[in-house]
Every structure is written in structure tokens, then in C-alpha cells.
Amino acid sequence: MPQAGPAVRLLTGFAGFGAGSLNLALSSSVFAASAGPAAPLAVFAGVVAGAWGLAMLAGAVVFLARERLAGGPWARWVLAGAAAIHLAAIAFTPVAPAASNLSLTHLSALLLTLTIIASLGWLQRAAVRQRGHRQDNERQLLPAAPAGAGVRPGRLLPAAFAGAVLVAGITTPGLAASTAGQYAVPHGGHNNLMPGGHHQR
């Protein structure tokens, strides 16, 4: 249990960074598609998605720095609501190439949001079990293990790497499917800014 706890916390923080980035990408996609009579509603949805993305990024920083969820128990209900919104967006998106790309971004954000919810639930159950073991040791007058004694950097580093790769594997397709990803400069094309410039061959 002490070995897995820090790795799960890192996975939760990484997933928060990924989900926040995806929601910012959703915001840019909604703003880019806002036109016609539904433009005010689209602008409102874009603002909400952008604000939620920034909140996810800030919450991930706070969680990794303090090992405490920003917003307390209410944050889990908000995360569940965000997951429901992503699911509804996937289910009710019209069949169109641009809409299917946006559905992929919603799907990636949904998977990372569910990862955060599941990781937080695991951490809560682990904390309850750890408190129970500590109380049993106190009743039996056994010495408590020092804080951080079970954490081995040699095992935590591979777990952190695996969590980062997992989150990146979910986040990257979602970002690429968004409007920001479609207009991104391809790798290796940053130097070819001037037509006929000396960087071209």
C-alpha cells in the first residue's frame, strides 16, 4: 500500500494536467465553430470549457503540491458532472467529420476524468485502511512506521514514467483532433516560415 499510494497520486496529477489541456482545446474548438444563431450559446460553452480547463490545471498543481484535493469532497461531484457532460457530448454529437474529431477530444477528456475519479476513490480507501492499521498498532502498542518509509524512489520512478506515458497516450489523440491540433505547426516545420527562404531545400 505505501508503495502504490505515491504512484497513484502522481497518476492523478498527470491526469489532471491532461484533462485540463483537453478542456482548453475543446474551448478553442467551440470558439472556432461558433457561428450563426447558436453563436451566443457556443461562446458560453467555450468560456465554461476554458474555465474548467484552467481549474483542472490549477487543481492538479495544488493536489501534487499539498497531496490534498482542491475543493474538498465537492470536487468529486463536480468531476462526475464533467464526465457526464463529456459523455452527453459524445452521445448527442451530430455525425460529421468535424464533430467526430471533437468527439475524440471529448472521449479523451472523459477517460482522464474517470481516471481521476477512480484514483481519488482508491486513495481514499487506502487512507481509511492505513488509519485502521495505525489504530490497531496503537492498541497493540506497536511502533508506527515512519512517514515515507515505504516509498522507494527506485520503484516510484518507473511507476511515474508509466503513468506519464499512459496519460500522454490518451491526451495526444484528443489534442490532435481539436481545432488547435489541426492548425498546429508540424514538427520540423518551424524553420520554414518564409517561402523560398534559406531554410528550405
Domain ranges of the chain: 4-129+149-182
State residue 6's pLDDT score.
Answer: 86
Chain centroid to CA 119: 12
Q: Nearest 10 degrees: CA dihedral of 16, 17, 22, 26?
A: 90
Predicted confidence (pLDDT) at residue 61 exceeds the cutoff of 80: yes
Determine the residue type at 11.
L
pLDDT band per the 50, 70, 90 thresholds, residue 138: low
pTM of the model: 0.79
**CB half-sphere exposure, 181, CA atoms < 13 A:** 20
State residue 149's pLDDT score.
Answer: 47
Residue among 171, 165, 187, 185 nearest 26 (CA): 171
State residue 175's pLDDT score.
Answer: 92
State residue 20's pLDDT score.
Answer: 95
| Across 158-162, 171-175, 196-200, least confident range | 196-200
With beta carbons less than 8 A apart as the criterion, state whether 93 and 102 touch.
yes
How many Å apart are CA 171 and CA 184, to the nearest integer?
15
| Across 20-34, 63-77, 137-151, least confident range | 137-151
For 33-45, write each residue's pLDDT tens digit. 766 665 778 788 8
Q: What is the largest CA-CA distance in the chain?
A: 80
- The DSSP line for 178-195 is SHHHHTSPPTT-TT--ST
- Which percentage of the chain shows pLDDT scores above 90? 37
